[in-house]
Amino acid sequence: MLLRAILLLSAIVQYVTCNKLAGPYQSLYIWYAYRMEIEAFGAGSNQIASGLKGSAPDGTCYFDELMDGLQRQGQGLAPGQHTTVGKELTPDVAKTAKEIRGLTALDPKGGTKPFVCNLDSAKLFKSGQSTKPMSSLADILDNVTDRIEAARQKVGDEALGDTLKNAQLAASGIHEQRVRDMGQDYIDTVNDYLKTAQGSNTQVVTDNPTDMEGNKYKTIDFEKTEQADSKFAQHWAGFPQWLDQYKSTKTKKGQVRFHYKAVRGVQGIESRVHKKCKK
């Protein structure tokens, strides 16, 4: 359908920023990329996060060691904080994401604060390890996805089994949580766009899906909205450009723009990792 094509095209532009809801899934996505490299190529100096030394027999990291080790200075876990993953190499994605969200980190004043994924790209990729940009989280996840694709090409999807499947789940979790984070403000902004920019009386049809962790959230049902208004896909094509005029994140529309760009970036990553390997 036209609307799906528009959404796929919009995924080419990647803007992904860490946040409290999506961050745990980003940590899990990186973990499964890390494991795929080990499974495909073995532990070595060319893998991601090769500078981190863990307690596994081959010197690589277990999950908590990798997640904490990749944090920027001063953003690591508070003493005694850990998930229940332990030495499990294929932890449940939703269960672990929920656990991560309950962890704490030290704050500069000596207390604690919620733990948030705050990556140091220099710990994930060594200098010269990639020729692509590494200046944003979007760039980091794009480079991580390159590593996943290389592992898939090396050994094939079947050999990677649950490791790949869980990476795909984690990518979908990032997307889902970014959409969840937009909430009612996104819906209101789209309705305002339809009325003021397109002269349409259409109000988007909403849905209340359940995320991987069992939380209900409100979002737009694009298929039902398109069924209700045959011109919706045509109207929707102009939404990104219209939204881009609202630069300030201090306004509601500016916040929606910020999150919407993040969602578009996540769509691109999710599409890549779910695409079947042509090995």
- Which of 11-15, 76-80, 206-210, 269-273 has the lowest average pLDDT? 11-15
pLDDT reported for residue 165: 98
- H/E run at residue 112: strand 112-114
96-117 burial code (b ≥16 CB/10 A, e <16): bbbbbbebebbeeeeeeeebbb
Q: Which of 16, 276, 22 has its CA nearest to residue 149?
A: 276
pLDDT digits (tens, 9 = 90+) for 229-243: 999 999 999 999 999
pTM: 0.89
Instruction: Decide if pLDDT at 262 tops 60.
Output: yes
What pLDDT score was predicted for residue 132? 81
Q: 225: exposed, middle or buried (C-beta count within 10 Å: 0-12, 13-18, 19+)? A: buried
The per-residue pLDDT for 44 is 86
Show me where the domains of the chain are located: 2-15+175-273, 23-160
Mean pLDDT of the chain: 90
pLDDT surpasses 50 at 252: yes
- The answer to whether residue 279 scores a pLDDT higher than 80 is no
Q: Is the dihedral of CA 18, 24, 30, 33 positive or negative?
A: negative
Residues 6+ apart with CB under 8 A from 5: none
Find the mean pLDDT for residues 85-110. 95
The total of other beta-carbon atoms located within 10 Å of residue 135's CB is: 8
**Mean pLDDT over residues 195-217, rounded?**
96
Three state DSSP letters for 204-235:
CCEECCECCCCCECCEECHHHHHHHCCCHHHH
Closest by CA to 164, choosing from 180, 150, 143, 178, is: 150
Decide: 152 and 277 in contact? Cβ < 8 Å. yes
pLDDT above 70 as % of the chain: 92
Q: How many Å apart are CA 158 and CA 180, to the nearest integer?
A: 32
pLDDT at residue 194 is higher than 70: yes
Tokens of residue 18, six digits: 């860490």
Spatial distance between the Cα atoms of 125 and 76, rounded to a whole number of angstroms = 18
> Does the pLDDT of residue 41 top 90, yes or no?
yes
Longest CA–CA separation in the chain, Å:
64
pLDDT (average), residues 200-205: 96
Question: For residues 239-278, b (16+ Cβ closer than 10 Å) or e, as one string?
Answer: bbebbeebeeeeeebebbbbbbbbbbbbbbbbbbbeeebe
- Mean of pLDDT values over 64-78: 94
Mean pLDDT of 202-209: 97
Residue 126's pLDDT is: 86
Pure H helices in 127-206: 137-155, 157-196
Q: What is the pLDDT of residues 103-157, one digit of tens each?
A: 999 888 888 999 998 888 889 998 888 778 777 677 788 899 999 999 999 999 9
**In sequence order, what are the beta bridge partners of 220?**
206
**Confidence class for position 2, pLDDT limits 50, 70, 90:** very low
Q: 154-192 pLDDT, tens per residue?
A: 999 999 999 999 999 999 999 999 999 999 999 999 999
For 52-63, write each residue's pLDDT tens digit: 999 999 999 999
pLDDT score at 18: 61
Contact 212, 169 (CB under 8 A): yes
Q: At residue 274, does pLDDT exceed 80?
A: yes
